[in-house]
């Protein structure tokens, strides 16, 4: 993760934009974020971002390195709570509920809003144990048979079951990179979240594994709402329906993916997508 404590504030006077271009909001929003500001100590990392995640759609967050997209993603399941120097302001709602309210337990939130990380990080346990961990701690299964079913279904949904069905007890860390990432996806699916946040899930994988993951994401959107941070514009173009372009902590433009990639409205977006800078 980027160490923000020593960098300068992303947002400064000469990089301010005049408001977001395009359509950031949706009629059928699963999660809504309004006027979000995020600070690391005295450095501002995110400035006044308002955005909706449309239900059962894939929303891609793109932008140059260090533009704040990962930080923003992590706010949506309160992972930034674990960082002492990080301060989050603004309104975050999940189906209308304020997720930063005192009454919202972050543990419960993270069961509803799952996360897949850039580097696959399976637990050093067996494949079965990896997937079963979430349901176990949240008490989702009342018997071993139920737990088995959850594990098998999740592995199937993640497209991994066929490959590992005869070695569910072997360690999760013994799988290849792509398989490990699918295992991590199965692990997040197992707790039946409503939203899945993905932070560059395929950046550590080879092209074939990447293609498999992308196919999987496309299938997953039928059941889940997905937000994905990615460095690869082609990936964003391939798998998302909506794309948001972040620049220096601000949301510059957001809109339908096809439109962003054929005719972006803001010059900064155009420059980024065509490789003019950043």
By the criterion CB under 8 A, which residues form the site for other proteins? 77, 79, 82, 84, 107-111, 114-117, 119, 121-125, 133-134, 137-138, 171, 184, 187-188, 191, 233-234, 237, 260-265, 267, 269-270, 273-277
Please answer whether residues 244 and 254 qualify as being in contact, where contact means their C-beta atoms are separated by less than 8 angstroms: yes
Q: Which is nearer to other proteins, 30 or 44 (CB)?
A: 30
**Please, what is the minimum distance in Å from the beta carbon of residue 28 to other proteins?**
25
Radius of gyration over every alpha carbon of the chain, rounded to an integer in angstroms: 19
Q: Which is nearer to other proteins, 39 or 245 (CB)?
A: 245
**Please, what is the minimum distance in Å from the beta carbon of residue 118 to other proteins?**
9
**Please, what is the minimum distance in Å from the beta carbon of residue 260 to other proteins?**
8
Please answer whether residues 43 and 9 qualify as being in contact, where contact means their C-beta atoms are separated by less than 8 angstroms: yes
Which residue is it, tokens 């299964």? 141
Q: Which is nearer to other proteins, 44 or 122 (CB)?
A: 122
Please answer whether residues 240 and 59 qualify as being in contact, where contact means their C-beta atoms are separated by less than 8 angstroms: yes
Q: What is the DSSP string of 30-85?
A: EEEEEEEEEEETTEEEEEEEEEEEETT-EEEEE-STTSSHHHHHHHTTTGGGG-TT
Q: Which is nearer to other proteins, 68 or 193 (CB)?
A: 193
Strand order, beta sheet including 86-94: 43-54, 29-40, 86-94, 97-98
Q: What is the DSSP string of 180-216?
A: HHHHHHHHHHTT--SEEEEESTTTTS-HHHHHHHHHH
Q: Which is nearer to other proteins, 35 or 258 (CB)?
A: 258
**Please, what is the minimum distance in Å from the beta carbon of residue 177 to other proteins?**
14
**Please, what is the minimum distance in Å from the beta carbon of residue 73 to other proteins?**
11
Q: Which is nearer to other proteins, 197 or 212 (CB)?
A: 197
**Please, what is the minimum distance in Å from the beta carbon of residue 102 to other proteins?**
16
């Amino acid at each position: 993760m980027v160490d923000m404590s020593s960098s300068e504030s992303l947002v400064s006077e000469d990089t301010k934009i005049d408001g977001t271009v395009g359509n950031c909001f949706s009629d059928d929003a699963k999660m809504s974020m309004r006027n979000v500001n995020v600070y690391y100590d005295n450095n501002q990392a995110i400035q006044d971002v308002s955005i909706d995640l449309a239900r059962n759609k894939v929303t891609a967050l793109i932008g140059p390195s260090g533009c704040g997209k990962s930080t923003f993603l992590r706010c949506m399941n309160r992972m930034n709570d674990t960082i002492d120097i990080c301060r989050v302001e603004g309104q975050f709602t999940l189906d209308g509920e304020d997720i930063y309210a005192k009454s919202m337990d972050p543990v419960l939130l993270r069961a509803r809003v799952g996360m897949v990380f850039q580097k696959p990080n399976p637990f050093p346990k067996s494949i079965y144990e990896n997937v079963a961990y979430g349901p176990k701690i949240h008490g989702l299964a009342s018997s071993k048979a139920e737990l088995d079913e959850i594990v098998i279904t999740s592995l199937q949904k993640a497209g991994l079951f066929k490959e590992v069905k005869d070695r569910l007890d072997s360690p999760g860390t013994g799988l290849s990179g792509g398989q490990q990432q699918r295992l991590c996806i199965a692990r997040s699916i197992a707790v039946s979240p409503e939203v899945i946040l993905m932070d560059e899930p395929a950046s550590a994988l080879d092209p074939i594994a990447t293609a498999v993951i992308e196919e999987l994401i496309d299938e997953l959107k039928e059941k889940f709402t997905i937000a994905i941070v990615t460095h690869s514009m082609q990936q964003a173009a391939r798998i998302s329906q909506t794309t948001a372009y972040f620049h220096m902590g601000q949301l510059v433009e957001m809109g339908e993916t096809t439109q962003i990639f054929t005719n972006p409205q803001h010059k900064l977006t155009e420059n980024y997508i065509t490789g003019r800078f950043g």
